[in-house]
Structure 1
């Protein structure tokens, strides 16, 4: 199935990790799985989670101002706690937080994404089998595996029925635009019944987008935290935290600067990907102010440079320009990103198509340019005069290079 155009055009999505782990500010699910926090202490957060100031319209308004085109909410993490009023399992919050989120996003014309973990380390039927080929010397974790001689395949079928029931609730009620699965490493594709699960979701929305953690049914790659040096070939998405944590953690004040986030964003879209930028609301449902400020700042940068963001495709391969770039859908305008104030002319190599003009995006100032050199089939270097200080953006300046035709690149080695 071809990728939905809205996804590759979106460029920015917001990941929302919200759950009971925000009460004590501990790591979501992993903190009890790895015995960092006692299990009973972790689960006691269920009774202390209030959602007292949850305002999904405020979230949606912030995400829209950030320039995002979609969002992904953790409807159920590995801890098994559901954010909606599910009829399956015993771990609900007594309230439906998902419906308001869906309505608020759609009011702002944002696409609706749900995170859902394949694994559930609290379900009584989950740790009843093990992944085929799991080395016997690997230590079992009591929340996710059982010894080979204690496998209970009937219990596993009950777990799959529970999983299918929850996914059916989400898909039938809300028909999400995107389902973002996680936890796939715990079992095999066959154990998860991946094709059957995908068919279930598509029966409610045939156009749903699924991430790569749906294994053979996935539509796009999901690198996490580390920006890829060589971008994936097809559609992809970098999921990235603003500080060091997915969910809210009181002690984590190591926020990335706005300048760093603009770099992550421009490098990601320059490589043909989307940035899925994460926020971790507090247990009352409010998004921490440092995260709000960074989303608003990123939104201001995107609004100023929207032509270089939306409706573009991946830009020049490495080696042509020192920095990321994007290309308009008609391949007739190249957008070059400059992170630093140029001290001299800006050189761009290998552009065969003649250049009509170069302007600074946002101000419209036209910059003189010329092509120097070139021999036989090799082409010269396009030299662009540097913008003046008044034309430079404090985070990243973008030059629009208008071409006299579709972009054609020289990728050869020159004459020997």
Structure 2
């Protein structure tokens, strides 16, 4: 996957603007777990090529795209499975944009959706306000291609933002800054090179994108601005509608606001890593993002085999946090706004684990090392998080029965977190025993003072 902090162009020389120098806010670094919501017009077909269904060469990856939210692009690639599905399901004369009038989430209840995410432990929520298809999920004045004028007939972002704050979580907003296929006439994207080649950089589009993002800031006061892919080059200078001016206004109005790194300019908030493993602690705050399955948008072709298991999900969260990251875990609702059952099950499992072990996740920072992976067969591999002088030891295979304490904490005492309260474990020869009631868990957590 691409690392977007490598993109800082174009080189404007002496005309380059100054960007606000704002550190990543502590509230964000303490939050550790947020939820992406990929819900939009693409949720009507809810169709992508399931991962592993074809033996795909690298050059054909976009033709067989596993991301259902890329439907509007994939459907235009000649011979793609998505193109065949569109013709068979909606008729050969139906366009992607015609699907807007088929989307009627009349029973959608934002309160129900958000409660499922906060019950799972989420501290911030980031819905997609406009994905690359250009369909806006708020009542924008910039285009009639939006949820108030078409299909749903209601401001979905307003409802989601209000419900998120009602449940005590922070509001983030995803925005596709560089790509908007509704107002572009490029060929379909078929490679990573095309991803940055086939995008508008003219002044008109730069103003259009800036006006939309300014609307989102003014209407919803987001705590996070999560931009995707890049920003139009025509808005990277000293223009009053330029990105530097826009972000300056955003931080002036929200000093605790946070941004990510996908703007294509020298300013990076936190780093993003999408469907990729980070091997060691990163010095700079970062965020891992992925879906519970292999797609962000709901893909009706996915099954349990494409979905993270409970153990994989909990281990992913621990791993990311141990390396100075946050996890932005995605849910992909159906067109009616309900979360598919298998995703709901994972949310319940994650929430149950967090209610017992959350103190070892929230508000922590990485320790001197992220963990010990290679251990004897009778000892669980571990990851570490820390909070002040407390070290948390996450046993990733509790069934093994023992954990080796690091030398810095070998004297104990050790307390294991359980639903009934902490359980003290003895230490002998640098080893501590995992309580029997925790050995069937996907991960168990001990705390010890340094």
Is the 2:32–2:362 contact (alpha carbons within 8 Å) kept by the matching residues of 1?
yes
Is the 1:126–1:159 contact (alpha carbons within 8 Å) kept by the matching residues of 2?
no
- Offset at 1:394? 1.4
- Offset at 1:343? 4.1
Q: Alignment partner for residue 348 of structure 1, among 405, 408, 413?
A: 405
Describe the superposition over 1:335-386 as per-residue Cα deviations: whole angstroms up to 9, x where unpaired: 11112136464223441x673411111152221114x5xxxxxxxxxx1232
Determine the structure 1 residue equivalent to 2:439.
Answer: 392
Is the 2:104–2:336 contact (alpha carbons within 8 Å) kept by the matching residues of 1?
yes
1:35-184 to 2 correspondences below 5 Å: 35=77, 36=80, 37=82, 40-94=94-148, 95-124=154-183, 144-145=198-199, 156-184=202-230
Unaligned runs of 5+ in 2: 1-21, 48-66, 87-93, 149-153, 374-380
Determine the structure 2 residue equivalent to 1:236.
Answer: 286
- Offset at 1:158? 1.3
Is the 1:238–1:268 contact (alpha carbons within 8 Å) kept by the matching residues of 2?
yes
Change (3 A) 1:104 1:256: same
Aligned residue-pair number? 373
Determine the structure 2 residue equivalent to 1:292.
Answer: 344
Larger radius of gyration: 1
User: 88-97 or 77-86: which moved more?
Assistant: 88-97
Is the 1:168–1:200 contact (alpha carbons within 8 Å) kept by the matching residues of 2?
no
Alpha-carbon RMSD: 2.8
Determine the structure 1 residue equivalent to 2:415.
Answer: 359
Q: If the length of structure 2 is used for normalisation, what is the TM-score?
A: 0.76
1:325-344 to 2 correspondences below 5 Å: 325-328=384-387, 330=388, 332-341=389-398, 343=400
Describe the superposition over 1:322-342 as per-residue Cα deviations: whole angstroms up to 9, x where unpaired: 3211111x2x21111112136
Determine the structure 1 residue equivalent to 2:266.
Answer: 216
Is the 1:360–1:398 contact (alpha carbons within 8 Å) kept by the matching residues of 2?
yes
User: 70-79 or 165-174: which moved more?
Assistant: 165-174
Distance 1:257 1:208 in 2: 33
Distance 1:158 1:86 in 2: 17
- Higher RCO structure, 1 or 2 (CA under 8 Å, sep 6+): 2
Is the 1:115–1:181 contact (alpha carbons within 8 Å) kept by the matching residues of 2?
yes
Q: Secondary structure at the match of 1:269?
A: helix
Distance 1:185 1:89 in 2: 19
- Offset at 1:90? 3.4
Is the 2:290–2:329 contact (alpha carbons within 8 Å) kept by the matching residues of 1?
yes
- Offset at 1:42? 2.0
Unaligned runs of 5+ in 1: 129-137, 147-152, 373-382, 404-416
Determine the structure 2 residue equivalent to 1:31.
Answer: 71
Determine the structure 1 residue equivalent to 2:364.
Answer: 312
Q: Secondary structure at the match of 1:89?
A: coil
Determine the structure 2 residue equivalent to 1:10.
Answer: 31
User: 316-325 or 388-397: which moved more?
Assistant: 316-325
